Structure 1
């Protein structure tokens, strides 16, 4: 089926032969799929991975109190039931009987340990902020109190009590992806090496069999998974597909069953040549440019606003990218619950000519001109739509004045975000997918307390006060109003300028069943099946 050479062919052939000897979870049939997944992961540790393409694989390996359905809505997973107090501040979870992949029972202590580890400063988790609704979570994350102060405790082996800072109706969505239980007995035995195939113990529908760096990752169905009887697939292979065009060809030829992206500019071509594999849906993924607000000249709001004004977002989405993406007029996507409709960037009614004239005036007021050019580097990832988009943005900025001089520099996604976390950039591309259905899922990344994921280093006490008040109020209307105020304030500061909301674009072979393209962009293999099987011996 695949044209592979050398060590990759030998290793994959051996793995396939081994898989053929394994009965399926349901018995007697082997079903294997081959998934393209954009990048090579740096980590599959749930508390250390930070790129969406890593978390796609992690979602196959680990499950939390809740898990996403095929259309990305939360349903109980390790949690069997959840009782919520009248004030919404105390959630009591009863766990189902479940096992780690080594046969060890998953207990309430594992749930507590997973949440504590996710927030422990020693872990180095960049994404503690989504868990801040839990009482004392921020203080734990910042190292001000011990992890045992976190508002979660094991009442008995199968009961977990969680206390929150304020009412959080979207808590199930958070717990789908963040703070998942991890096997304490394995983590403490192997340290950072616990995630290696020879050591790993998982709770999800699959476990890790092999990881050949820059070749493939092989997962196999986990027979101890609590719903193993309803998992169709026996084996899943993930391949890094940095070259999107090559990945498109591999899906069209049948070499890959899936790829989680394709070039938006190829939408018309693919719809003409292979419409049966094209899956597109409106997305919530926000593509932005982040300015390093702690570094001159981008500590000056006039400079940031000028550059933001000069970008023709509609031209980018409709002409450059083919029309499936939406130009971003704000930072919260359409369709998000509690999103007020009267929030938008304030200069959108001006013509592009007027916007660029005002941008030039702003830059001149900030001290730039022929004798003092505005020269800087725009760093971007060589993935998604950025390679096609950033040259257009560079040209938009050049139209402000000839003394606006922008150099483009591409760098690998992992290195790109590593540099952004430590502030090693002037202007850089970024992306964000909300983890729950609420405007706060976007806005939390710019709170002062968000730490390293606040790439722009935006810090505004008024913004922080608005989001804190929104999180604390039980009134949904008041909450929506407060978050709308916070979004307007953030847009006025231009610390990060929204470019577009990227559609969810997937290529899916007709042999795959159960696939639902969704707004979150995570499609667990546990919901998938194939139209063909390979008979195996029992």
Structure 2
């Protein structure tokens, strides 16, 4: 009897030791694309960060650490980087990761035919901007494979944030042999070769993306989770119910109206953390009345009561935003907008004056359209803003709900009518990551189609400025000029808002809200 019991216990231990460890993650909208060069959303980046690894990667606190490169050196003038790739770096098909794969991927990123929304992201590399604008050939890029394990990168000037950019999916490598074989279908399960901690196993539209552990990953021995399932969870109320039912280990966000109650009833599982991101409305300046009337754009911005918005609508500890660059970013000369110093009554009074100056009023009413991607939270914000505009300025507002991919396409192609709901989440801790979006040459992610030569000059001067203090001042001047023109309406600075199961271990709160699955475990 004792022998049978011991055998049963040993069998139980063996079964537990070999049980699959699964992480079930809420991931908001349907991924636009898993192509690292054709996506721009957070839901896609969450998956891509598990599938691929750049020259640098992020630790559990989202700090840059060695990734596909085990080391690097920087020239005295800060303009030349030499990266040494890991000797044991492999693609999931067992072939080696080479410096040539990085060169290939960066050239593909810049190729105008790729039409990447992030093509501008490596403009600091010699000739990158000219290549993406089609004025120089791809082989002039300031990135070359010295040999299979050595990548040399030349920059236009010293760039203090350059290493941090290399943790972003736009700079990840692609297996040239694999893309040559499958073309754009390399993103399909069974066709994709990835060099990160996981491989793509399934991608079921409007359902989930399933990843499985990559045995070829250089640190596979320390990856604890075997399977990660990213679930499409656009409906925030349904997502919360799935979490409560134990179907999700963490949520993408929270329903705003339920946050106060959740803080009371499930406080140990609520995670609300500062997040370097800005929620804003972009204005389509490609047509009238927005093209020639900055005073009209400013009037509608002033009429939004941001204090009411964060206190009554979002309820997640967000801060009212009157500028685009979030507070506390490094390498910046902080400045305070005049609007932030005034009372809402003062802002409303100026809004009415500017609205009348633009020629609008009871005898010439204004009707506008707000487009937003599917989310009850986005809808509530749009309804509140429309009500404020109606009450204070007599503006009639129509709301248009679009699916994520359709909304992204409308923003990039400037096909939204008046205002488009969007946001920018910092990829790294430097204001250029926010302000580069609005260069006249930025491309598709310049959603308002903003173009001011003086703004471009300030941003160009910041690129080559070696003195950090002077560079910060140039960037601040650029943002002040930008808000003189008012091509966007900032609304609030984000916090990340999630439910997190106690079963998830290794989670580290961070302002980028990045949580690579390789650092986590699940103990049910």
TM-score (norm 2): 0.94
CA gap of 1:244–1:72, structure 2 versus 1, over 3 A, is: same
1:307 aligned residue (289, 300, 307): 300
Structure 2's unaligned 5+ residue stretches are 1-13
| Secondary structure of 2:167 counterpart | helix
**Cα distance per residue 1:350-378 (max 9 Å; x no partner):** 33233223222212221222232111211
Post-superposition shift, 1:459? 0.6
Corresponding position of 1:535: none
The alignment covers a number of residue pairs equal to 506
Residue 147 of structure 2 aligns with which residue?
156
Whether the aligned pair in 1 keeps the contact of 2:316 and 2:497 (CA below 8 Å) is no
RMSD of aligned Cα (Å): 1.6
For residue 384 of structure 1, report the CA deviation from its aligned partner. 7.3
SS in 2 for 1:58: helix
Aligned-partner Cα distance in 1 for 2:331–2:269: 34
The equivalent of 2:104 in structure 1 is 113
Looking at structure 1, the residues matched to 383 and 307 of structure 2 have their Cα atoms a distance apart, in angstroms, of 15
Match of 1:4 in 2: none
Q: Is 2:23–2:229's contact at 8 Å kept on the other side of the alignment? A: yes
Map of 1:14-29 to 2, 5 A cutoff?
28-29=18-19
Q: Provide the C-alpha distance between the structure 2 equivalents of 1:334 and 1:356, rounded to a whole number of angstroms.
A: 24
Cα displacement (A) at 1:419 = 0.5
2:48 matched to which residue of 1?
58
Alignment of 1:329-340 (within 5 A): 329-340=322-333
Q: Which residue of 1 aligns with 2:494?
A: 502
1:66-465 aligned within 5 A: 66-97=56-87, 98-177=89-168, 178-299=170-291, 300-341=293-334, 343-383=335-375, 385-402=377-394, 404-425=395-416, 426-465=418-457
Unaligned runs of 5+ in 1: 1-22, 533-538
Query: Does residue 469 of structure 1 match 2:461?
Result: yes
**C-alpha separation in 2, matches of 1:163 and 1:92:** 9
Deviation at 1:267, TM superposition (A): 1.9
Residues 356 and 399, structure 1, Cα contact 8 Å, conserved in 2: no
Q: Secondary structure at the match of 1:217?
A: strand
Structure 2 Cα separation of the partners of residues 452 and 54 of structure 1:
18
Structure 1 position 323, deviation (Å): 4.6
Q: Is the 8 A contact 1:102 1:201 kept in 2?
A: yes
Shift of 1:254: 1.0
C-alpha separation in 2, matches of 1:166 and 1:51: 29
Describe the superposition over 1:399-448 as per-residue Cα deviations: whole angstroms up to 9, x where unpaired: 2332x221111111221120111111211111001212111111000111
DSSP 3-state at the match of 2:194: coil
Deviations for 1:198-228, whole angstroms, at most 9, x for unmatched residues?
2111000000111111122111000000111
CA contact (8 A) 1:280 1:517 kept: no
- Normalising to structure 1: TM-score of the pair? 0.91
Give the C-alpha shift of residue 383 in structure 1.
Answer: 2.6
